[in-house]
Structure 1
């Protein structure tokens, strides 16, 4: 499914970019369209540099304080991705690049990407033969590490002491282990 989506994105996005460039060029003129593309590239480069420095300073501060810099690393990755999108000529990719870079839209992008990647991890874990071992019901693992979220049928039985094969109740087995 992801491969089909990527194929369509690499096919559809350039066609949309060319269509939009032609439409804007027919309204404001060819040279003005090129000038607008150069201007938003320069603005984007300045913004990437400024926000990249801020993200780097925040990352260093988080490391110095001894906490996990998860938000700072996500911001840095979004700034790099946004910068790459701004290098691609076209207005649609520039809009998405600015959305990832601007400090007031980045938290929205971070929440959306966190939801998207969390969903992808849950789907991939469900496909994995080991996915049930780490599922606690919410899809992020944890709990007791042995499928704590899913309960199967209860199997009643009795505890057998492995040393001498004697059937023992729980209290007698605990006393015997303490005494040994």
Structure 2
């Protein structure tokens, strides 16, 4: 027993975990349990060969969709480079095949084993629902980007220079006015 010792103040509180870090693993686990349960229900209703053929068809269809979307993205890139456009800036015409994200996501979801992921992948590939998903995701991302200064997208916009003729030139400003810092001279080694 010590007398006269003062209790040490409590240390800084550890940072709270975000909601996403708390609930995303639970959501993934629930999704996996649902996928396994649905596969078991289908296997009980039919047989194991049917489940295997469904999973195989999903992998083959997903690979085909991803390959097709990748070829379309490569074609758009080469066309924009040949036309002299900046490939990072999407074309103004939305009908020119500028959307390869949802088909690739749909193909990836088709390749993931499970029936729920296959249904979500097909929703991404079906044009009416794909457009709804695209517009909703664009609204959410634009709203988040507008409310969070200091993001990577904000820094990317700041790194562009606007020329008087309206063209945007990416680059970095290097000032030659500042003299270079003097080099540190180490004393010679003697031994």
Q: What residue ranges of structure 2 are gaps of 5+ in the alignment? A: 1-18, 155-191
Residue aligning to 1:37: 55
Per-residue Cα deviation, 1:4-41 (whole angstroms, up to 9, x for no partner): 44223212110110111111111121111111111122
Q: 2:138 aligns with which of 110, 114, 138?
A: 114
Distance of aligned partners of 1:20 and 1:74 in 2 relative to their CA distance in 1, 3 Å threshold: farther
Q: What residue ranges of structure 1 are gaps of 5+ in the alignment? A: 135-180
After TM superposition, give the deviation of residue 3 of structure 1 in Å. Answer: 2.7
Residue aligning to 1:26: 44
Alignment TM-score, normalising by the size of structure 2: 0.53
Residue aligning to 1:87: 111
How much is the aligned-residue C-alpha RMSD, in angstroms? 3.1
Per the alignment, in what secondary structure is the counterpart of residue 75 of structure 1?
Answer: coil
Q: Could you say which structure has the higher helix fraction?
A: 1
Residue aligning to 1:100: 124
Residue aligning to 1:69: 90
Give me the whole-angstrom Cα distance separating, in 1, the residues matched to 2:129 and 2:71: 17
Give me the whole-angstrom Cα distance separating, in 1, the residues matched to 2:124 and 2:84: 26
After TM superposition, give the deviation of residue 99 of structure 1 in Å. Answer: 2.8
Higher relative contact order (CA 8 A, sep 6+): 2
Residue aligning to 1:158: none
Contact 2:58–2:111, Cα closer than 8 Å, also in 1: no
Distance of aligned partners of 1:15 and 1:58 in 2 relative to their CA distance in 1, 3 Å threshold: same
